[in-house]
Amino acid sequence: MSRNLEVCAFSIKDVIKASSIKPARIEFCENKTIGGITPDLKLIDSAVSSGVPIFPIIRPRGGNFIYTQQEIDQMITSIKLCKEKKCQGVVFGVLDKKFSVDVETCKKIMDECKGLSATFHMAFDKCKDPLESMKKIIDLGFDRILTSGQEENVEDGLQLIEKLVRKSSRRISIMPGLKLRSSNIDKFLRNKEINDFHSSCYVKGEFSIEEATLLSEKISNS
């Protein structure tokens, strides 16, 4: 199985830069300061024209991942528009008030994702029981989970990430992310069961094509 770099881009400028290294996909967001929200849908056409598979984040606001019905309806509308704009996937996650995966709501949203690849994003890192939550996400039909191992830095979450990889039995891709950089990716590349890697490639507060290139080369040569 090939190993892939997913780049997180927060602007069309970053999308254009990232597309030059031909990553497996680009998670497209706006507003990095609050962890990313759904980008202006008018920008998605420009992102898709980059030629790289575009996966917009479907997150109507910052803060927690417990949503009102109005917000859920907004998420479903966003997914419909992403399909119309020829995106190849979406990234989302919904939790319930017990900080577990909201299976009923996620199922409704997944019904709108037919034809798209789906990533359960870092809402996973707020779940109280990561193993049980992973099982629910697998049963819902997600393709991958983006996680820092429930830590503020993916490097500190390595132990949980490797446990999730083992327990997943290849039923889903566990994708490490959050401050994943060329300086620490070797720790994750040693595990041959990890095939997807996620990075914003930020250095000194902005996207670095040099960092993206180095990450891509390390993954390709692993």
Q: What CATH number should be reported for the domain holding residue 154?
A: 3.20.20.380
> pLDDT tens for residues 109-160?
999 999 999 999 999 999 999 999 999 999 999 999 999 999 999 999 999 9
Using an 8 Å Cβ cutoff, are 57 and 35 in contact?
Answer: no
Domain that holds residue 171: 4-220
Going edge to edge, which strands form the sheet with 144-147? Answer: 89-92, 117-120, 144-147, 173-176
Relative to beta strand 25-28, strand 202-203 is unpaired
- CB proximity list for 81: less than 8 A, separation 6 or greater: 41, 44
Q: How far is the first Cα of the chain from the last one, in angstroms, to the nearest whole number?
A: 12
Question: Could you give the number of structural domains in the chain?
Answer: 1
Q: Give the separation between CA 11 and CA 21, rounded to whole angstroms.
A: 16
Using an 8 Å Cβ cutoff, are 62 and 40 in contact?
Answer: no
Q: Tell me the pLDDT of the chain (222 aa) as tens digits.
A: 789 999 999 999 999 999 999 999 999 999 999 999 999 988 999 999 999 999 999 999 999 999 999 999 999 999 999 999 999 999 999 999 999 999 999 999 999 999 999 999 999 999 999 999 999 999 999 999 999 999 999 999 999 999 999 999 999 999 999 999 999 999 999 999 999 999 999 999 999 999 999 999 999 999
pTM summary value: 0.97
